[in-house]
Structures are given as C-alpha cells and as structure tokens.
Amino acid sequence: AMAKSPEVKLAVFGRAGVGKSALVVRFLTRRFIWEYDPTLESTYRHQANIDDEVVTMEILDTAGQEDIQQKEGHMRWGDGFILVYDITDRGSFEEVAPIRTLLEEVKKPKNVPLVLVANKSDLEHIRQVSTEEGERLASEMACAFYECSACADASGGVAEAFHELCREVRRRKAVQ
C-alpha cells in the first residue's frame, strides 16, 4: 500500500517567455501546447507517485511580470520553487540569481528547496547560455539542475525536475 503524504506547494518563477506554462502543461499532460496567455497566472493540483508515495502537489504557474509584493506573496505561499530560464535568452539567465536572493530573504531563516531548469534545449542553434554556466549557477545555489525542453521532452527531464523538487521539499520537512 502506498502512504499518503501532505500537499507540496510548488511555484514556478522566471522571466516572461521562458516557457513556465509550457513546462507545467508538459508535466501535467505530457503534451506541448504552443501558446498560452502570457499574463495568465494559474494554479493546478496534481497527484504523482514518487518513490512509492502519493504526493499531492499544488503548482503555481506565475506570469513572470508580477510586482515585488506579488512575488513575495508567491514566495511565502510556496514550499519549493522551480527557477526557469531560457537557454536562448541570456537576460532570463541573469534574472535567476536576483529571484533566488529575494527567495532567501522572504524565507529566512530556512534555506529554500529549489531546482534550476534551463528550458528550450531543442533550440541549440540559437543557444546563448552554455550548459556549464547553468551547472555553475546551480552549484552556487546548491540545487539540482535540469536542462530540458517543454516541446521535445523525450527523456522525461521535465517530470524529473518536478519530482526532484518534491523530494527536496519532503527531505527538508523531515529534518525540521
């Protein structure tokens, strides 16, 4: 029998256009949909079997253009965070560290469960951020790193990123 565990609240952050909605929809439906309203903010509930446990997730797909108060509100709400950038948009990569800094401030004194996701790996020909740069940033933030593609996710890297974040949240809860 599988144990039932409490809900895990996950929020997805990153500059508008990096593919947050596409990643969430890929994770939830295993499909890719080309266009979403970029101003839309949505929450989803999802259950997954992770390491023989049923985990219920609430996932907040932020719009990526919130003001600071809204951002802080989302940060207080969440247990774990997916920070997304687009490998073809260096500016989106540069926005990750400030988001992380704000997270650390809002969640103080806890250290915050997060994963770093480099999206749009299918667009290798217009890449602006190398895999090594992503790995370095993840190691500075002491978090897992996934380079993946919401539209061509053959290896299931998108789901792996969400699952790893759930594990990380649950590990931290266990030691508190």
- Euclidean distance between CA atoms 18 and 118, whole angstroms: 9
What is the DSSP secondary structure assignment for residue 64, as one 8-state letter? Answer: S
Query: Residues 112 to 131: which contact ligand GDP by CB under 6 A?
Result: 119-120, 122-123
What is the crossing angle of helices 157-175 and 20-29, to 10°? 90
Kindly state the tokens that stand for 137: 């940033």
Looking at 21-29, 47-55, 102-110, 159-167, which segment touches Mg ion (CB under 5 A)? 21-29
CB 78 within 8 A of CB 60: yes
Closer to ligand GDP at the Cβ: 58 or 147?
147
Q: Which residue, 65 or 155, has its beta carbon nearer to Mg ion? A: 65
Measured from the CB atom, the residue of 53 and 122 that comes closer to ligand GDP is 122
Q: Which of 71, 158, 157, 144 is nearest to 114 (CA)?
A: 144
Contact region with Mg ion (CB under 5 A), list: 18-26, 67-75, 126-134, 151-159: 18-26
Q: What does 19 interact with, of ligand GDP, Mg ion, none (CB < 5 to 8 A by kind)?
A: ligand GDP
